[in-house]
Amino acid sequence: MRLYIVRHGQTEWNASGFAQGHSDIELDETGRTQAAAMAKALMDCRISKVYSSDLRRCVETADAFAGPLGMMVEAREDLRERTFGQLEGAHYTEIRAWFNGESRQRGLGEHEIRPDGGESLKDVWNRLAKFNRLIDRSRENVLVVTHGGTGGLLMARLMRGTVQTAKSFRLENTGITELIRRPDGYWQLLRFTDTRHLRSDETGS
């Protein structure tokens, strides 16, 4: 069984450095081009099931692959990005400064800090537990379209890491990560956030 994890295509907020969280932002023109190139790159991978965050930027990206094949996309709330609560829509420089200040003041790790009305990284880690079990039981090739933070946390779970090691898995827009489940049940990483499909000679741009 092979698992493909893809971060959604670019949005205007991505390009400008704003935290989207649960804000339902659509792909921009670059993002749509990226999604089409990603879909072409995965076309021969014999994918039988497509899961996506239920936010538009992910559903649009997933549909770029599933639509031409007549496949359904199962949109799931548990694959959403972390919500930043009061910080939603703020620039990442502002968010990093806020988290650094809270960490120093409260003596907590960044993964434990929850903005008002938002989630901590640990909250998202726990939210992914049910989906993680679903993937572990799957016997067919699966595509998962999600977000940068959530995708990193999912990767850390699959690779038997921790919430703290999720930062090691930094996903690029429409980068393709491919894993294969070994007979012993462990996941083996075959490629990570592969963006070769975005090269100008392949996209025609």
Told to judge if 81 belongs to the known catalytic residues of this protein, a careful annotator would answer yes
The answer to whether 180 and 138 are in contact (CB under 8 A) is no
List 22, 60, 81, 119, catalytic entry? 81
Pairing status of strand 176-181 against strand 187-194: antiparallel
- Asked whether 195 and 175 are in contact (CB, 8 A), the reply is yes
Q: Establish whether 147 is a catalytic residue.
A: no
Please provide the distance, in angstroms rounded to a whole number, between the alpha carbons at the two ends of the chain: 34
The residue type found at 176 is I
Is residue 100 helix, strand or coil? helix
Backbone angles phi, psi at 161, to 5 degrees: -95, -155
Cα–Cα distance, 166 to 71 (Å, whole number):
30
- Kindly name the residue from 8, 22, 147, 197 that is annotated as catalytic: 8
> d(Cα 26, Cα 8) in Å, to the nearest integer?
10
Helix H or strand E segment including 105: helix 92-106
By annotation, the residues acting in catalysis are 8, 81
